[in-house]
């Protein structure tokens, strides 16, 4: 299958005072698929998505989105082009209602069409299972629900590329199951870049995996290929089996 790359990086590098957090990363995100970015702590995953989303400026290298070089665009412009981003540390509007949180996310595109906006917001809340809590203040939600709310805010933007930075961190097993189901239901609808620690989530959802280690791409491939890759086993899986 000839996959079309919706997002690409070439030679993406970030150097923090001599430390190469990311070094010459060439990466392709295949349209309509779920790509997981994995790697041990400190591998440079967050730095990488920071540069992709525009939160962090690269030392050198380029990011292109839908064939267009977006390396010099600020983060909000990249989001306007069709990216959505969920933070590693939950980031919502704590003092606003659940409904208003989603409404603001959907409202960037739909603010001028009240009916469409209300419809979109209701539909997203329904899909993610937060309809009953729509009127609650977001900060009063449980941690798990707050994380789900943030994912809802991503979905409400109808993103071309949805970047999720460790979305299952701190979720209970049953919440993780719900998350996996949700990711599968998004297959084909949107392209997903998933930064994930939880190997069960990765193996159940990812179509494609890229492994980062010490700021560099160690391997890329289908889950099977990654599973058989000796270097990955040594650097990453090996450490978990020792534990």
Partner 1 sequence: MTLHIAVLVVLLGLFFVLPAYHVGAFSRIMVLAIYAMGYNLLFGYTGLLSLGHAMFFAAGMYGFGLTVNLFGFSVAPAFLTGIIAAAALALIVGYLALRTAGVAFMIVTLMFAQTVYLVILYFGEYTRGDEGFVVQQAQRSFAGIDLTGETERYFAALILFAICFLAVAKLVQMPFGKRLVAIRENEERARMLGYDAAKLKLHALIISGAVSGIAGATYGLLFGYVGASFSTVQYSIFPLLWVLLGGAGTTIGPLIGVIFMFYLIDISSGYTDAYLLIAGVALVLLTLFAPLGLVGTLRKRAFPWLP
Contact set with partner 1 (CB under 8 A):
53, 55, 75-77, 79-80, 85, 87, 91-96, 100, 103-105, 107-108, 111-112, 153, 157
Q: Is 18 helix (H, G, I), strand (E, B) or coil?
A: coil
> Please, which residue, 71 or 203, has the CB nearer to partner 1?
71
Encoded tokens for 72: 């010099």
The least distance separating partner 1 from the CB of residue 234, rounded to whole angstroms, comes to 36
Q: Shortest gap between Cβ of 154 and partner 1 (angstroms)?
A: 9
- Which residue is associated with the tokens 């701190």? 170
Query: Least distance from C-beta 91 to partner 1, angstroms?
Result: 5
Considering beta carbons, is residue 73 or 237 the nearer one to partner 1?
A: 73
| Closer to partner 1 by Cβ: residue 139 or 240 | 139
Rounded-to-integer distance, Cα 231 and Cα 13, Å: 22
Q: How far is the CB of 230 from partner 1 (least distance, A)?
A: 38
Torsion angles phi and psi, residue 89, rounded to 5: -100, 120
Identity of the residue, 4 or 116, whose beta carbon is nearer to partner 1 in the bound complex: 116
- In angstroms, what is the minimal distance from the CB of 184 to partner 1? 25
Quick one: 94 or 238, whose CB is closer to partner 1?
94
Asked if residue 219 lies in contact with residue 211, where contact means CB atoms within 8 angstroms, the answer is: yes
* Distance between CA atoms of residues 63 and 5, nearest Å: 12
The Cα-based distances of 151 to 27, 67, 95, 193, 233 in angstroms read: 24, 26, 18, 13, 31
What b/e readout covers 11-38, taking b as 16+ CB neighbours within 10 angstroms? Answer: ebbbeeeeebbbbebebbbbbebbbbbb
Residue nearer to partner 1 on the CB measure, 103 or 196: 103
Report, in Å, the least distance between residue 193 CB and partner 1.
14
């Amino acid at each position: 299958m000839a996959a079309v790359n919706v997002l690409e990086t070439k030679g993406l590098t970030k150097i923090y005072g001599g430390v190469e957090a990311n070094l010459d990363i060439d990466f392709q995100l295949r349209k309509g698929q779920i790509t997981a970015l994995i790697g041990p702590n400190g591998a440079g995953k967050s730095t990488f998505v920071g540069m992709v989303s525009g939160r962090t400026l690269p030392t050198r290298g380029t990011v292109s989105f839908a064939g267009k070089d977006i390396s010099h665009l600020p983060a909000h412009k990249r989001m306007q082009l069709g990216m959505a981003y969920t933070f590693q540390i939950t980031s919502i509007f704590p003092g606003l209602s659940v409904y208003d949180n989603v409404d603001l996310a959907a409202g960037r595109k739909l603010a001028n069409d009240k009916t469409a906006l209300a419809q979109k917001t209701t539909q997203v809340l329904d899909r993610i299972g937060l309809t009953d809590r729509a009127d609650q203040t977001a900060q009063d939600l449980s941690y798990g629900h707050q994380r789900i709310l943030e994912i809802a805010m991503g979905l409400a933007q109808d993103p071309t590329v949805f970047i999720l930075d460790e979305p299952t961190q701190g979720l209970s097993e049953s919440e993780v199951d719900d998350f996996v189901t949700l990711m599968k239901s998004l297959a084909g609808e949107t392209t997903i870049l998933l930064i994930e620690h939880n190997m069960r989530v990765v193996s159940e959802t990812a179509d494609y995996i890229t492994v980062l280690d010490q700021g560099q791409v160690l391997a890329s491939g289908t889950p099977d290929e990654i599973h058989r890759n000796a270097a990955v086993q040594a650097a990453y899986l090996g450490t978990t089996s020792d534990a």
